Amino acid sequence: MSIVYNRENGTITLNTRHSGYQMKADEIGTLLHTWYGEPAGEEDLSYAIFRMNRGFSGNPYEKGSIDDRSYSLDQLPQEISCFGTGDYRASSVMMRQEDGSRALRLRFRDCEIQPGKYTLPGLPASYEDGKEGAETLTVVMEDPEAGVKAELFYGVFPEKDVITRAMRITNTGTAAKTLLKAAPMNLDFISGDYDLTGFYGKWAKERVPEREPVRHGIQSFGSVRGSSSQHHNPSAILSEKNATETQGKCWGFTFVYSGEFLFEAEKDMIDQTRLVFGIHPDNFEWVLEPGESFTTPEVVMTYSEEGFSGISRRFHDFIRKNIVRGPWRDCRRPILINNWEATYFNFTGEKLVDIAKTAKDLGIEMLVMDDGWFGLRNSDNNALGDWDPNEEKLGMSLSELGKRIRELGMRFGIWFEPETISEDSDLFRAHPDWAVAIPGRKPDLSRHELILDMSREDVQDFIIEKMCSVIASSGVSYVKWDFNRSVCDKYTHALPASRQGEMAHRFVLGTYRVLDALLTRFPELLIEGCSGGGGRFDCGMLYYTPQIWCSDNTDPIERLMIQYGSSFIYPVNTMGAHVSASPNHQTGRNTPMETRSAVAMSGTFGYELDPTKLTDAEKEEIRRGIGVFKELYETLQQGDYYRLTPPDGPGCTVFEEVKKDGSKAVVTAVYDHVRANLTPVYTALRGLKAESSYRLRLIPGHIGDERGRLFAAFYMNEPVLTGRTLMSRGIYIPHYSKEYQSWQIVLEEI
Ligand code: DGJ
């Protein structure tokens, strides 16, 4: 039993293998949060909550009227915090009542424990993978005066050390009310001094970790861009001051949601820390008629005493098996070649067949036709929404193109940007009201695009119908789902003025509905998420799209930081990564093919270049790279991931992947800049079996010339060392003999 309700002392304790979480309803029905950290027994941990009158922190009437001035919601740690009734900190729920007031005071009524994991209709949510003993706790909270019920859902995955949280709010009154803020996670720490790590970014530089002390006042990050965005990922890690990559207490949070979110961290007047994570309230107002409910998306939480890497490995295992679904979850996905950087808009069907032929010969398994195959689309200025193939441009029908690609023994994939519409498109001319715009105001253009109103069911139905017909007629087995702008000028013709605040969330629900419909119709379809690169990299999308294009920045050196930052939350096999041409199109940098390959291998692995323009030596290197990827696939993509030396470190980024049974490991080291007389780079390995011996070998393609052989001399004889030594004394990374040299070292248990 991972959830225990102790009726004697009133505690509800949630246990996973390495973490414990506890709550308790007190004498006036406040649901106290008493613990999240190392495993807790059933002991009542509310003893640690110290209460005193601090002035200006009011007392609920039951307490104030008997002159108990020490009881104040303003100071108590709680599972859900309501705005307007004496808790002045960031709140997790705010609601406008029919009389215009905004106060809510939810009290504990009941709770129920059930086997299995709750589901959230219409929303992506984690699920139980087989029989792992997940359980659900539902706590019912009520405010009878306001006529509101809140059900707090907790999913406990004991083997994964994960607890999830979601919430359903119901109007139990007799008149309509408006929900103004809905955050499923409120987490209070009564003591401790913490740092908060978030992941900020921009186009071509996504998910840069930034660690800051939690200060007095509210620190927050989020998105009001319609999607989770490049600018802040919907994830965070709270850590104790002394926590490092490998040790110390950390708490990780990620939102299974692709829309607007807000993460708040507040240190209060008595140095308590509150975290609130949910839908961003700025663009959110949800009208609830009597009897209606609103369900929030869920937050996934994990705790580790093994520092940041402990958090990452827990998230990786959970996302791989309990978020990502479908037939592609556990198997190797096709090595693809995408024509975007090879041709941009300038291609024909014959050109794609040529690319596919050469690619096939190199060992590549799927051709993806990117933007430009439909309508009159020859630049990014027009035709979005006209999802009919441009047969004149292709020089053949889409089904013929699909057939010719498949006849080569390759799979065929195709690009869509379903949530946008061009002003210059037949779709816009036919349905101008399908574009998102405020009546009487010209909307912002971005990349010359407008937003398609995905909050409308008729629009969703149109997109479902169009995409299904293209997929069926072309026989594609992969779709790249792109979204190249942020949303603004939010307004939908489908809702009255009083409900416009629902549009942003309904837009996201609409996207989920379309994705769900595609996967229901084509269960084998592999969808890769994309949003101008990694602009919507979140667990909401990963529920439908097992992989997401990590960034439009394909420079392998820049990718080191992007993939490093992403790795704090997301596993390698979700990060779309391609080998592209050199010099790189985003930076102009020249890098060796084997380095591009080594970096892309710690992602989904594919190509984005014109193979017909490669030299024989480059082709040979690609063949070799594909062979290495196939050989190391299980270790790289399904193993445990360790960040050894960060990209902003000594000039050499090093990371390691270890097969789940510890029998094999791959160390990848990339020199991200060159200096004369560089200090040798040493690194202790991790995750090996201490008592086992491992044979070390270099992947030959990385050794290079005579100088490389000299630097790598130690490794040339395939030395054998114990796991214990490798994890304590460690290894040195051979010096470089050329710019941006990389090394891949394989360790095999003997
Ligand atoms: C942005 C994506 O990230 C690129 O890979 C490419 O698909 C373009 N859009 C196409 O417009």
CA angle 313, 317, 322 (to 5 degrees): 145
Strand 177-182 relative to strand 93-96: parallel, antiparallel, unpaired?
antiparallel
The count of other CB atoms within 10 Å of the CB of residue 50 is: 10
Q: Which of 374, 422, 549 to mutate to test the pocket of ligand 1 (most atoms within 8 A of CB)?
A: 549
Tell me the domains of the chain and their CATH numbers.
Answer: 3-323 (2.70.98.60), 336-549 (3.20.20.70), 641-749 (2.60.40.1180)
Nearest residue to 646 (alpha-carbon basis) of 672, 607, 667: 672
Nearest residue to 468 (alpha-carbon basis) of 418, 420, 509: 418
pLDDT at 648: 86
Give yes or no for residue 677 having a pLDDT over 90.
no
Q: How confident is the model at residue 388 (pLDDT cuts 50, 70, 90)?
A: very high
Amino acid at 695: R
Give yes or no for residue 14 having a pLDDT over 90.
yes
Residue nearest to atom 11 of ligand 1 (CA): 371
Catalytic one of 433, 618, 631, 748:
618
Q: How confident is the model at residue 120 (pLDDT cuts 50, 70, 90)?
A: very high
CA distance 599 to 589: 15
Bridge partners (DSSP) of residue 452 are 435
Q: How confident is the model at residue 701 (pLDDT cuts 50, 70, 90)?
A: confident
* 348-373 tens-digit pLDDT: 999 999 999 999 999 999 999 999 99
pLDDT averaged over every residue in the chain = 97
Q: What is the DSSP string of 389-438?
A: B-HHHHTS-HHHHHHHHHHTT-EEEEEE-TTEE-SSSHHHHH-GGGB---
pLDDT at 178: 98
> Which atom of ligand 1 lies at the shortest distance from residue 549's CA?
3
Query: Residue 121 Cα, ligand 1 centroid: separation in angstroms?
Result: 31
pLDDT at 705: 87
Mention every residue, 6+ apart, whose C-beta is less than 8 A from residue 67: none
* 604-618 tens-digit pLDDT: 999 999 999 999 999
CA angle 694, 697, 698 (to 5 degrees): 145
Q: Are 621 and 582 in contact (CB under 8 A)?
A: no
pLDDT at 400: 97
Give yes or no for residue 650 having a pLDDT over 90.
no
Tokens found for residue 430: 């036919």
Residue range 202-207: average pLDDT?
Answer: 98
Query: Residue 47 Cα, ligand 1 centroid: separation in angstroms?
Result: 55
- Is 538 designated active site? yes
pLDDT at 700: 86
Query: Residue 371 Cα, ligand 1 centroid: separation in angstroms?
Result: 7
- Residue 48 DSSP symbol: G
Strand 148-157 relative to strand 162-171: parallel, antiparallel, unpaired?
antiparallel
Q: Which of 346, 482, 545 to mutate to test the pocket of ligand 1 (most atoms within 8 A of CB)?
A: 482
Query: Residue 535 Cα, ligand 1 centroid: separation in angstroms?
Result: 11
Residue 487's alpha-carbon distances to 223, 446, 560, in angstroms, are: 11, 9, 29
CA angle 166, 171, 174 (to 5 degrees): 175
Residue nearest to atom 10 of ligand 1 (CA): 371
- Residue 181 exposure: Cα atoms within 13 Å on the Cβ side: 25
Residue nearest to atom 2 of ligand 1 (CA): 532
pLDDT at 674: 84
* 228-248 tens-digit pLDDT: 999 999 999 999 999 999 999
- Residue 322 DSSP symbol: I
pLDDT at 258: 98
Residue range 265-290: average pLDDT?
Answer: 98
> Which atom of ligand 1 lies at the shortest distance from residue 531's CA?
3
> Which atom of ligand 1 lies at the shortest distance from residue 415's CA?
7
- Is 400 designated active site? no
Bridge partners (DSSP) of residue 140 are 110, 151
Q: Which residues of 144-173 are buried (b: 16+ CB within 10 A; e: fewer)?
A: eebbbbbbbbbbbbbebbbbbbbbbbbbbb
Residue nearest to atom 1 of ligand 1 (CA): 532
Q: Are 356 and 410 in contact (CB under 8 A)?
A: yes
Q: What is the distance of C-alpha 102 from the center of its chain?
A: 33
Counting beta carbons within 10 angstroms of the beta carbon of residue 129, is it exposed (0 to 12), middle (13 to 18) or buried (19 or more)? buried
Nearest residue to 580 (alpha-carbon basis) of 566, 571, 590: 590
Query: Residue 530 Cα, ligand 1 centroid: separation in angstroms?
Result: 8
With a pLDDT cut of 90, the percent of the chain lying above it is 95
Residue nearest to atom 9 of ligand 1 (CA): 532
Mention every residue, 6+ apart, whose C-beta is less than 8 A from residue 197: 209, 210, 211, 212, 236, 237, 238, 239, 308, 568
Q: Are 248 and 168 in contact (CB under 8 A)?
A: no
CA distance 713 to 698: 10
Q: Which of 206, 229, 338, 370 to mutate to test the pocket of ligand 1 (most atoms within 8 A of CB)?
A: 370
The count of other CB atoms within 10 Å of the CB of residue 675 is: 10
Tokens found for residue 244: 């490092």
More confident residue, 131 or 389: 389
Q: Are 201 and 246 in contact (CB under 8 A)?
A: no
Counting beta carbons within 10 angstroms of the beta carbon of residue 419, is it exposed (0 to 12), middle (13 to 18) or buried (19 or more)? buried
* 543-583 tens-digit pLDDT: 999 999 999 999 999 999 999 999 999 999 999 999 999 99
Residue nearest to atom 6 of ligand 1 (CA): 340
Give yes or no for residue 676 having a pLDDT over 90.
no
pLDDT at 704: 86
CA distance 499 to 493: 11
CA distance 567 to 670: 16
Give yes or no for residue 694 having a pLDDT over 90.
yes
Q: What residues flank ligand 1, with Cβ below 6 Å? A: 340, 370-371, 380, 415, 482, 484, 530, 532-533, 549, 552
pLDDT at 692: 98
CA distance 689 to 332: 26
- Residue 320 DSSP symbol: I
pLDDT at 541: 98
Query: Residue 325 Cα, ligand 1 centroid: separation in angstroms?
Result: 24
Query: Residue 417 Cα, ligand 1 centroid: separation in angstroms?
Result: 9
Query: Residue 736 Cα, ligand 1 centroid: separation in angstroms?
Result: 34
Residue range 706-728: average pLDDT?
Answer: 94
Q: Which of 338, 547, 552, 604 to mutate to test the pocket of ligand 1 (most atoms within 8 A of CB)?
A: 552
Query: Lowest-confidence range among 154-158, 668-672, 736-740?
Result: 736-740
Question: Whole-prediction pTM value?
Answer: 0.98
Residue range 513-528: average pLDDT?
Answer: 98
Residue range 651-659: average pLDDT?
Answer: 97
Catalytic one of 538, 555, 621, 672:
538
Q: Are 217 and 266 in contact (CB under 8 A)?
A: yes
Q: Cis ω on the peptide bond leading into residue 583 (within 30° of 0)? A: yes
* 287-339 tens-digit pLDDT: 999 999 999 999 999 999 999 999 999 999 999 999 999 999 999 999 999 99
Q: Are 162 and 321 in contact (CB under 8 A)?
A: no
